[in-house]
Structure 1
């Protein structure tokens, strides 16, 4: 009788102990990455490895005949972006003053500060029978080797496809701190179609990593659908008025986030928008009281907010990619909402961190 009670008690204690282990954090020794203790039968990654005859898994404990393994922690979209944002933020000094004021009025805009938008990029298109390039579309540096832009900017224009990215300058003729990188790969979103205004987003891989400094530094990505402010900042070298002249100096403008229904009503009966403005995939911006807007040549550039809503810290979160609009300052402009595409971006830009 005593022996029976002892065995049952021992099993009960083992069961409680194991339940405490299951779900607890662990660290994968092979990669020093975070994991979670799970039954082998509930960890698909380890099961698949075992079927292929790979090395035995790292164990946390045992439950009867079942092994409790250190299972790679499932990655959530946005996890890598947040980690990288923290890494890029370390290149700035705490509360470093950017030497700028938030723009109040790239129609109705004003010149950007020299180191205000170090993630800002512009794409170069080689002209036929010439070594000169036309600098047309914008982009955002989001890692040491990738630029985020619009899919429309990767297709051949009247000149050619883009083959070069310029970073580190606000004036296009400036040679100080200028960094040029060749484009070695264009990754257009697989659901983008040239005859529709949806999924207008692409990634450009550079031939070599940029040199990070005060003039060239990746931006953060806004990973949440909700945007914590009512205004955003757009930047670009595009036209300063419809069919006007372009700016040699980087311009910035503060825009209101426009109500989705109101924006949708402005784009009715347009064939490339047969499903209307998508609240998940689009962000509309503009101004009801002043002539402030993005314009021709700004496509692909960033729509951004101050990181952690702190204008003194020289970091921005990219919330949108400038896509299309009706003229310039003639109604709300439409931007591709970055948060919808976070997983797609992360899987391409940081594949070594994906699981």
Structure 2
């Protein structure tokens, strides 16, 4: 709170000369998007920017002792996600626990570090004829109470809807830091249809918020179409080879981000892909030249890159959700591109953060 007051005082001193009028139109730089002049106390989006980003907002002037700021007329997709990313980094108490050591396989892979992917979740299903849970799909914790996954994981007629989510472990038999929480709500993207391979993205809401630690912590969401690196990391508990069993250990694989042309050429237009691969909503990984891949059981899990855009430490950006591919033979495999769905995710997960 003290930092907030100091920053606001600086704003007032720097803008004594300005005679901003509440309600006037303004333009937000550098996007030139429309805004309206409001008291800082009446613009939550800019207040969050001051508190979490420690950046001076764009001002219109002042009224007595209160700053008047250029407030977006409508919430800009990605703004909430970026602020939440900075907020969640406060739970990384020891930088050495990040463990961003990247290796090369899920198929034939090796286990991850114990606190390397604290956002990883696995979804448990329970069929009518069995009391045992089946751990069938991956997911990513993106806030205290929501997990991002694939829509296909939420609409299976064979096993029904997921009942619980498991977080905090890398080995499924480990009980240290284990969080097994019932699922209260599932949210399938409204454009998803199980007869196609488009819009394969969904959310599950946990029965209660997770208690965050170095072992359980949300990931950041990638909010931009452009991906600044040529490789990404996939993680999952899926099959370790095409005819093999699933892994009890969380495994990771580094995959090349494949060119759109190669991926589109790989996948023929079919009943489930009537428009082929769509670059706006898909990210392809793997070239097929190396024997490393995601495999069955990895659906819903994250495709991620190390967050390095600002001072936020020990975080991953989720750029994709594992969707479909050609078995376990090196791809290219197809992921749902998260940046395309940011507004939909934010509207569901953080509805109270809008103006």
Cα distance, 1:157 vs structure 2: 4.6
Q: TM (normalized to structure 2)?
A: 0.81
* C-alpha distance in 2 between matches for 1:282 and 1:97: 32
What is the alpha-carbon root mean square deviation over aligned residues? 2.5
Q: Which moved more, 1:206-215 or 1:123-132?
A: 123-132
- Give yes or no for contact 1:104–1:254 (8 Å, CA) kept in 2: yes
CA contact (8 A) 1:26 1:34 kept: no
Aligned counterpart, 2:32: none
Residue aligning to 1:47: none
Q: TM-score, normalised by structure 1?
A: 0.81
The answer for unaligned runs of 5 or more in structure 2 is: 1-16, 27-35, 48-60
Question: How far off its partner does 1:129 sit?
Answer: 3.7
The CA deviation at 1:313 is 4.0
Contact 1:143/1:218 (8 A) holds in 2 = yes
What do residues 98-126 of structure 1 show as CA deviations (whole Å, max 9, x unaligned)? 24521134214221111110000000001
Give the whole-Å Cα distance in 1 for the aligned partners of 2:160 and 2:184.
Answer: 15
Does residue 166 in structure 1 map to residue 166 in structure 2? yes
8 Å contact 2:235–2:302 — kept in the other structure?
Answer: yes
Instruction: Check 1:133–1:25 CA distance in 2 against 1; reply closer, same or farther (3 A cut).
Output: same
Which of 39, 55, 63 is 1:27 aligned to? 39
Distance 1:113 1:177 in 2: 14
- CA-to-aligned-CA distance 1:69-119 (integer Å, 9 cap, x gap): 978523211000000000001111374342452113421422111111000
Q: 1:242 to 1:33 in 2, by over 3 A?
A: closer
Distance change >3 Å, CA 266–CA 87, structure 1 → 2: same
Return the alpha-carbon distance in structure 2 between the equivalents of residues 180 and 136 of structure 1: 15
Give the stretch that moved more between structures: 91-100 or 277-286: 91-100
Q: Is the 8 A contact 2:235 2:303 kept in 1?
A: yes
Q: Which whole-Å CA distance do the structure 2 matches of 1:158 and 1:299 have between them? A: 16
Per-residue deviation at 1:230? 0.2
Tell me the matched-pair count. Answer: 309
The structure with more radius of gyration: 1
| Aligned residue in 1 for 2:260 | 260
Q: Are 1:81 and 2:81 an aligned pair? A: yes
Q: What displacement does 1:20 show?
A: 8.2
> Which position in structure 1 is the counterpart of 2:151?
151
How far does residue 29 in structure 1 lie from its aligned partner after superposition? 3.1
Q: State the secondary structure of the residue aligned to 1:152.
A: helix
Runs of 4+ more than 2 Å apart: 16-35, 69-74, 93-100, 156-160
In 2, the alpha carbon distance for the partners of 1:132 and 1:117 equals: 26
Partner of 1:111: 111
**Mapped contact 2:187–2:204 kept (Cα < 8 A):** yes
Structure 1: how far apart are the matches of 2:313 and 2:289?
Answer: 29
